[in-house]
Structure 1
Amino acid sequence: MDIPLVRLGDGDIWSILGMRSVATVLATLVILGAMRLVSGTWPVLVPGRPGLLAGMLYGLSSLTFVLAVFNTATANVVFIVAFNPMFGALLSWIFLKEKPPAATLISMLFMILGVGLIVSGGLSSGHVFGDAMALLSALILAAAITVGRASRRQMGFVPLLAAVLPAALGLAQALPSGVSVAHPGWILFNGAVMMPVAFWCLATGPRYLSAPEVGMFYLLETVLAPIWVWLIFAETPATMTLVGGGILTATIAVHSLWMARRKSVRQVSLM
């Protein structure tokens, strides 16, 4: 629901980025205070250098994501961000020596085709900057997940506290002329409730799953976000976006089923 809530806020990009991020930081501080009262100790906030690096990446991904939302069609954003698990597989292969199976490499080729079709539509409609920001967001988010995977540390609070970075940038740009958001309730709900839950889950997942697998669960947004936007704003995706998105979605589905079957076969063989 992230993109529909941003759109429902109806404000300028810097005001929404600042308000959304500030709400996330404040909600995190409330959660931390409650945990401190209950347990008597502070949870791990930023686990060393890996936590700092992951935090910078999560903060930067928030910026590039909002830039993408404001500069291209919603369907383009979610389908291009669907490239996240493929970036995750490449980064894990390069830095963690977790070589992806042949099926993942084949899936990458199909996903490159799908993203290429979407981006080609963006080039013809003048959305090249927004499409580029969406692709960069997928790469940065995959890098953050890979850092979490490599460290195997508790990263649940890292992306929440990292919202300080986009909050500072957004407010610095918005405050001189005044914060402009027509319906701030949607943005506050998004930042204080939806984002903390989503980022906590996203940052905790790599402790138990590989980076590509975490990215694939993240891709449920790819299927749902264009539906919400179509229902709320009557924004019909372009034909090339639908074709490219269909290729991406089908590739992800087939690859996920293959991975699940491979895992079950391996478990049976070990019994």
Structure 2
Amino acid sequence: MSTALSDHRKGLLLTAIGGLALSMDIPLVHLGGGDIWSILGMRSAATVVATLVILAAMRLASGKWPVLVPGRAGLLAGLLYGLSSLTFVLAVFNTTTANVVFIVAFNPMFGALLSWTFLKEKPQAATLIAMLFMILGVGLIVREGLSSGHFFGDAMALLSAFILAAAITIGRASRREMGFVPLLAAILPAVLGLAQALPSGLSITHPGWILVNGAIVMPVAFWCLATGPRYLSAPEVGMFYLLETVLAPIWVWLIFSETPATMTLVGGGILIAAIAGHCFWMVHGRSIRPLAG
């Protein structure tokens, strides 16, 4: 097995684990209950504390510190990951779960555009066609958000998708170890959230769910997804964020009986069909090219 193929499979495994863990984020936020700043602060602070514990354990085991923030690229990516945490939580609190995850599904298309613009990785025709259908799907969901008063939340979800795509693209361009960058970047939303919440006291109904989310689920999700760009292209990594698109509405429907609006389901169906078709085409193309060679 060639090294390139082995690295690609490693990237696929890491990002699949990360996407699966990320799908539990929104359900755990809802299970915790409370005001936005308290949840943002506690969730992010738990991520930072868990990261510091992991780093200390790695230091004791190996005798050296792992790569934390690799230069300017790491700092810029960290700033973007921190901002994405803020916009994502704002979206969760201002629109429905289905709207959030379907709109964030636009992430790989933003990744393709950014890679094309800055990395000169021209997307294939299949990617461009999928992008057109995804624009249609997101447009239907945002239109539903306008009519139901969820426009701000939908806009925050779209902004979160763009910021995440930019962070992934920077990681792809640098080819550096970025695994701990989004975890340490949680310092930014932690400081902001706690600064807003502490003067009047934290207000969280079930803090245990938020601690599990911040200390376990988010470190696993973001470490895997931030490491993926070392082995995969930005659009490919973005695809695995879409496990949340498919699974999060199912978890929320099973736990809270939150049924998406009809137009949201139509737009989400278009998105998932476009993504599935694109993935099938890419995998089919990969299998054809070696045979042709």
List per-residue Cα deviations over 1:5-51 (Å, max 9, x = no partner).
Answer: 00011110000000000000000000000000000000000000000
Q: Distance in 1 between matches of 2:192 and 2:27?
A: 22
2:119 match? 96
Q: Distance in 2 between matches of 1:157 and 1:2?
A: 18
1:3 match? 26
2:21 match? none
Q: Identical aligned pairs, as a percentage?
A: 84
Answer yes or no: is 1:229 the counterpart of 2:252. yes
Q: Distance in 2 between matches of 1:175 and 1:268?
A: 61
Answer yes or no: is 1:114 the counterpart of 2:147. no
1:184 match? 207
How much does 1:219 deviate?
A: 0.3
2:184 match? 161
Amino acid at match of 1:222: T
List per-residue Cα deviations over 1:92-139 (Å, max 9, x = no partner).
Answer: 000000000111011110000000000000000000000000000000
Q: Distance in 2 between matches of 1:42 and 1:201?
A: 19
TM-score (norm 2): 0.92
Question: 3-state SS of the aligned residue for 2:67?
Answer: coil
Amino acid at match of 1:269: A
- Structure 1 runs, 4 residues or longer, greater than 2 Å off: none
1:26 match? 49
Q: Distance in 2 between matches of 1:43 and 1:221?
A: 29
Alignment of 1:168-179 (within 5 A): 168-179=191-202
How much does 1:70 deviate?
A: 0.1
1:253 match? 276
2:90 match? 67
Q: Distance in 2 between matches of 1:202 and 1:82?
A: 15
Q: Out of 37, 51, 54, which is 2:77 matched to?
A: 54
How much does 1:269 deviate?
A: 2.2
How much does 1:218 deviate?
A: 1.3
Q: What are the ranges of 5 or more consecutive residues in structure 1 without an aligned counterpart?
A: none
Alignment of 1:76-91 (within 5 A): 76-91=99-114
Q: Distance in 1 between matches of 2:163 and 2:28?
A: 22
Question: 3-state SS of the aligned residue for 1:42?
Answer: coil
List per-residue Cα deviations over 1:184-227 (Å, max 9, x = no partner).
Answer: 00000000000000000110000000000000011011000000
1:201 match? 224
TM-score (norm 1): 0.99
Q: Distance in 2 between matches of 1:267 and 1:208?
A: 19
2:242 match? 219
Amino acid at match of 1:103: A
List per-residue Cα deviations over 1:139-176 (Å, max 9, x = no partner).
Answer: 00000000000000000000000000000000010011
Q: Distance in 1 between matches of 2:44 and 2:225?
A: 17
1:265 match? 288
